[in-house]
């Protein structure tokens, strides 16, 4: 079975605390429930398949006759929030944007947010965010991008001059989580959220807002067509590709729409831009 057909994390005793299979009793004694539908779970600590949870029963009183949709994604999001809550810092990515003339502007350098405090399921400029971090007197909102829900970003956040919004993508977790199974799913997820730089973006940064206000321009994520020449098939140009380009990994043999980084093998060494649409996997 594909990893996304499993439930990796359970709601322990319906308290909202997320547990992985290794941390609970086997079978229905695990005392865990599905974050998505609320049904009791059974911990599967077998010798053949990856350890995971599954729905313990499909009795009518539990309101489901089959595995609920998005139980994988919902459980990963729940654990992601818990990891933020348990952590003391978060590494942040660099961000390069472009003026209308094509000039590169560094909006943010790679950094490390040291938490003074952190709150999950918080409000930020009257909008819901997954986490709100206080660091050296500044507020930074964190939003996880997931397959099972709409984007939480809103104009009221992005147009506020003091906003600092970091997005972390979990959309391809079904691929890269499997690569770290020897560490445990929680540890692999923790590394992705806390210590990695890839799949993180500043949706808004105060430095960007200030630059736009001072210069009366709008920065873009890619150079305008007239100021950039992108050569398909050249690794040297991968970092200049538009964010919505299609890529293929010659090692994993998968294609995707997004950035020039293979989330399956966690590398861009074998990544090639492709000019056509379509997915092979």
Q: How many structural domains compose the chain?
A: 3
> Is 165 domain-assigned?
yes
How large is the average pLDDT for residues 68-96? Answer: 91
pLDDT (0 to 100) of residue 238: 44
Dist CA 129 CA 138 (whole Å): 16
> Is 281 domain-assigned?
no
* DSSP designation for 19: E
pLDDT (0 to 100) of residue 36: 85
Which parts of the chain are beta strand (E)? 9-12, 17-20, 32-33, 41-44, 52-55, 89-92, 95-98, 104-108, 111-114, 117-124, 127-135, 138-145, 165-169, 200-204, 245-249, 254-258, 271-274
Both 250 and 147 in a single domain?
A: no
Both 128 and 147 in a single domain?
A: yes
pLDDT (0 to 100) of residue 153: 74
pTM strictly above 0.85: no
Task: Please answer whether residues 199 and 192 qualify as being in contact, where contact means their C-beta atoms are separated by less than 8 angstroms.
Answer: yes
Q: Which phi and psi (to 5°) does residue 219 adopt?
A: -80, 150
> Is 224 domain-assigned?
no
Both 86 and 164 in a single domain?
A: yes
pLDDT (0 to 100) of residue 175: 80
Nearest Cα to Cα of residue 271 among 260, 279, 263, 257: 260
Residue 11 in this model has a pLDDT that exceeds 60: yes
Residue 13 in this model has a pLDDT that exceeds 50: yes
Out of 215, 237, 262, a domain closes at: 215
Both 178 and 121 in a single domain?
A: yes
Both 57 and 91 in a single domain?
A: no
**Class of residue 238 by CB neighbours under 10 A (exposed 0-12, middle 13-18, buried 19+):** middle
Long-range contacts of 50-58 (CB under 8 A, 24+ apart): 50/3, 50/6, 50/178, 50/181, 51/21, 51/22, 52/6, 52/7, 52/8, 52/21, 53/6, 53/7, 53/8, 53/9, 53/10, 53/21, 54/6, 54/7, 55/7, 56/28
Quote the domain boundaries for residue 35.
Answer: 3-69
More confident residue, 9 or 176: 9
Q: What is the tens place of the pLDDT at every residue in 213-257? A: 888 888 888 887 554 433 334 444 444 444 446 677 776 666 666
Please measure the distance between the N-terminal and C-terminal CA atoms of the chain and give it in whole angstroms: 15
pLDDT (0 to 100) of residue 93: 93
């Amino acid at each position: 079975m594909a990893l996304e057909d499993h439930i990796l994390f359970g709601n322990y005793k319906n308290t909202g605390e997320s547990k992985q299979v290794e941390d609970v009793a086997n079978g229905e004694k695990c005392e865990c429930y599905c974050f998505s539908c609320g049904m009791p779970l059974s911990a599967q600590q077998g010798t053949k398949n990856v350890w995971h949870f599954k729905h313990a029963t499909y009795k009518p009183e539990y309101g489901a006759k089959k595995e609920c949709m998005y139980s994988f994604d919902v459980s990963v999001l729940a654990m992601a929030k818990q990891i933020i809550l348990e952590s003391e810092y978060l590494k942040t990515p660099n961000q390069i944007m472009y003026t209308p003339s094509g000039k590169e502007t560094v909006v943010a350098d790679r950094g490390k947010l040291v938490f003074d405090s952190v709150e999950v399921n918080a409000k930020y400029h009257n909008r819901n965010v997954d986490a709100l971090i206080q660091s050296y007197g500044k507020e930074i909102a964190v939003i996880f991008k997931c397959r099972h829900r709409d984007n939480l970003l809103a104009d009221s956040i992005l147009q506020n001059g003091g906003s600092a919004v970091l997005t972390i993508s979990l959309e391809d977790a079904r691929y890269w989580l499997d690569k770290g199974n020897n560490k445990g799913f929680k540890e692999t997820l923790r590394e992705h959220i806390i210590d990695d730089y890839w799949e993180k973006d500043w949706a808004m940064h105060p430095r960007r807002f200030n630059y736009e206000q001072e210069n009366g321009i709008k920065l873009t994520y890619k150079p305008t067509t007239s100021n950039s020449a992108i050569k398909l098939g050249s690794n040297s140009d991968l970092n200049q590709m538009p964010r919505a380009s299609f890529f293929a990994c010659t090692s994993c043999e998968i294609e995707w729409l997004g950035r020039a980084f293979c989330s399956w093998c966690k590398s861009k060494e074998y990544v090639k831009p492709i000019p056509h649409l379509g997915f092979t996997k």
